[in-house]
Amino acid sequence: MSDIEIAQKANMKPIIGLVKERFGIDAEHLDPFGHYKAKLSLEYVNSLADKKDGKLILVTAISPTPAGEGKTTTTVGLGDALNRIGKKAIMCLREPSLGPCFGVKGGAAGGGYAQVVPMEDINLHFTGDFHAIGVAHNLLAALIDNHITQGNALGIDPRRIQWKRVVDMNDRALRKIIIGLGGIGNGYSREDGYDIVVASEVMAILCLATSRADLKERLGRIVIGYKADGKTPIYASDLKAHGAMAALLKDAIKPNLVQTLENNIAIIHGGPFANIAHGCNTVTATKTALKLADYVVTEAGFGADLGAEKFIDIKCRMSGLKPSAVVLVATVRALKFHGGIAKEDLNQENLPALEKGFENLQRHYQNITQHYGLPCVVCVNHFTFDTEAELDLLQSKCKSLGANCVVSKHWAEGGAGAENLANEIVNIVDSRESGCTYVYDENLSSWDKIATIATKLYGASGIVASAKIKDQLLTWDENYGKFPVCIAKTQMSFSTNPNLKGAPSGHTVEINEVRLSNGAGFIVAVAGDMMTMPGLPKSPAAERIDIDDDGKITGLF
């Protein structure tokens, strides 16, 4: 059965009753969206402030293959398993982006028997958060061009506008455009472009905001561009945009509650890009879950070099969240891929390739345990093609590393398939204090922060950049000295070259662009070509998506 067929057979319980039963939350604190989705009021969230926090478990992965290694699936499976063994656990996931549903990747609500439901709703419009973010972003864009057309009292330099427009669609034709054509009535022409909604700074802001007031303040801080001197920033607050933007986000800021196939509660809230942003769900959602449950399982985007790094050095550092353990998801397939095997041969047993590719896992594991001081369990997300010999080899390699390794079958068996993993995690987190170290000190210069990540985590010999970029970073350091850095590079490799598999060393990381996300509160360092607007493939999934007369959807996967 396909994911959507499994999801449509789910025995869902009405969410309001389920939340009441599990967490004693009354209906008045929940805004229902249909019968199986609900938003939790911020007033209720705030009322939990004095409660003790549960334990936070991060699910991350080795450097992924294009298909992904199953972080969401593992997060759901582990959460279901924790509930099965009698623990009170909540999963915190990212909201899927609509655009990719119509392209290659499909949905992002888990897979097999480890899914969140209603799958179609979660993958399509869900509770409207991304639409609200898109409109808030585009309102600011419209206000910028309108301000220029109406006389440009602020002196915005049209050549230095950095605030693009966004749409939740894979639409390559919008990457680079010229707007304002057609004469006087349509304003001034200039170059512009579209990003996908998940790349919006508004998304990153919503995910890091800790209250309505903080959200509005961050929105006001957004730097949309500069005056003609190239130095004086123009803020969204200069355009008086932040109040209306925050009003548009009045519901988007509330965490969304849904359930897994096994009727356990998952909070799905926010979903910033993992390249030019920090790639994890909202601080509000994670903090809320920690007040409600004893164990909270959450995921971060891409591999651990990007996702876990940003989760810890950006999200946890900014918000005070203290992780207790890390699950490092690997697949036998991906390890063989890192061992040099072509995509089409990954389903065949190949022990030498697996052994060679293990170096990728090893570096991620060592990064997590050594640089963050966090206990780490390797979770092998089991595929039906995996052979006993391969699994044995992987176990023994992990053992030699001192790593716990658990083969987990949640995709095929749901929570029951992840009980070993759950027991392992409980043992670990119950026997240590929460908390971790960071990979760099917040008082370092931005340059040194980037260099520290590159050398310590990526195995690079150093970083390089043009004088202009170095100057830009120095200028920002004067004004925004304590901002963490957010590195945007390929997720396929520790290096900036997606073809360098395994655990490359001695490479150089070239920073070819830097961006200031002043509202979110970080500096983005781009290493390589970052695609913030995907395209559709030759045969888009959209062609196969359909709905019948009774409203049943097919072709979403």
Nearest distance from C-beta of residue 250 to its own copies, angstroms: 6
**Piece of the chain touching its own copies by CB under 8 A; list 75-83, 165-173, 279-287, 445-453:** 165-173
Nearest distance from C-beta of residue 195 to its own copies, angstroms: 13
**Active-site annotation holds for 88:** no
Q: Which is nearer to its own copies, 9 or 552 (CB)?
A: 552
Q: Is 116 helix (H, G, I), strand (E, B) or coil?
A: strand
Does the footprint of its own copies cover residue 244 (CB under 8 A)? Answer: yes
> Which listed residue (3, 95, 120, 309) binds its own copies by CB under 8 A?
120
> Which listed residue (19, 45, 54, 102) binds its own copies by CB under 8 A?
102
Let me know: does 33 contact 272? Beta carbons within 8 Å: no
**Piece of the chain touching its own copies by CB under 8 A; list 179-187, 227-235, 367-375, 419-427:** 179-187
Q: Which is nearer to its own copies, 36 or 311 (CB)?
A: 36
**Active-site annotation holds for 274:** yes
- CB neighbourhood size of 250 (10 A): 12
Q: Beta strand pairing status for 177-179 and 190-192?
A: antiparallel
Q: Which of residues 345-374 bind its own copies (CB under 8 A)?
A: none
Q: Which is nearer to its own copies, 464 or 547 (CB)?
A: 547
Give the separation between CA 39 and CA 49, rounded to whole angstroms: 18
The count of C-alpha atoms lying within 13 angstroms of the C-alpha of 192, restricted to the half-sphere facing its C-beta, is 20
From 114, 141, 241, 274, active-site residue: 274
Q: Which of residues 13-52 bind its own copies (CB under 8 A)?
A: 31-35, 42-43
The strand pairing partners of 522, in sequence order, are: 517
Burial label for 551, CB within 10 Å (0-12, 13-18, 19+), is: exposed
Q: Which is nearer to its own copies, 141 or 297 (CB)?
A: 141
> Which listed residue (53, 171, 294, 349) binds its own copies by CB under 8 A?
171
Which of 274, 282, 337, 276 is CA-nearest to residue 303? 274
Let me know: does 455 contact 465? Beta carbons within 8 Å: no
Does the footprint of its own copies cover residue 2 (CB under 8 A)? Answer: no
- State in Å, rounded, how far the first CA of the chain is from the last one: 11
**Active-site annotation holds for 102:** no
The count of C-alpha atoms lying within 13 angstroms of the C-alpha of 390, restricted to the half-sphere facing its C-beta, is 28
**Piece of the chain touching its own copies by CB under 8 A; list 118-126, 296-304, 328-336, 446-454:** 118-126
Nearest distance from C-beta of residue 553 to its own copies, angstroms: 5
Give the separation between CA 543 and CA 557, rounded to whole angstroms: 13
From 71, 216, 287, 501, active-site residue: 71
Give the x-and-dash track for 205-224 against its own copies (CB under 8 A): ------xxx--x--------
From 22, 37, 39, 105, active-site residue: 105
Give the x-and-dash track for 473-512 against its own copies (CB under 8 A): ----------------------------------------
Tokens for 550?
A: 């009774």
* Measured CA distances, 51 to 9, 15, 88, 285, 292 (Å): 37, 23, 15, 15, 8
Q: Is 307 annotated as a binding residue?
A: no
Q: Which is nearer to its own copies, 177 or 500 (CB)?
A: 177
Does the footprint of its own copies cover residue 146 (CB under 8 A)? Answer: yes
Q: Is 344 helix (H, G, I), strand (E, B) or coil?
A: helix
Q: Is 255 annotated as a binding residue?
A: no
Q: Is 284 annotated as a binding residue?
A: no
Tokens for 17?
A: 């009753």
**Active-site annotation holds for 552:** no
**Active-site annotation holds for 302:** yes
Q: Which is nearer to its own copies, 143 or 378 (CB)?
A: 143
Nearest distance from C-beta of residue 15 to its own copies, angstroms: 11
The distance from CA 59 to its chain's CA centroid, rounded to whole angstroms, is 11
**Piece of the chain touching its own copies by CB under 8 A; list 89-97, 242-250, 277-285, 330-338:** 242-250
Q: Which of residues 515-544 bind its own copies (CB under 8 A)?
A: 535-538, 540, 542-544
Q: Is 334 annotated as a binding residue?
A: no
Tokens for 155?
A: 């002196």
**Active-site annotation holds for 73:** yes
| Nearest-5° Cα angle at 473, 469 to 475 | 115
Secondary structure of 6-27 as H, E, C letters? HHHCCCCCCHHHHHHHHHCCCH
Query: What DSSP string runs through 151-202?
Result: T-TT-B-GGG----EEESS--GGGSSEEES-SSGGG---EEE-EEEGGG-HH
Let me know: does 87 contact 421? Beta carbons within 8 Å: no
Q: Which is nearer to its own copies, 98 or 224 (CB)?
A: 98
Nearest distance from C-beta of residue 97 to its own copies, angstroms: 12
Active site residues: 71, 73, 94, 105, 274, 302, 383, 411
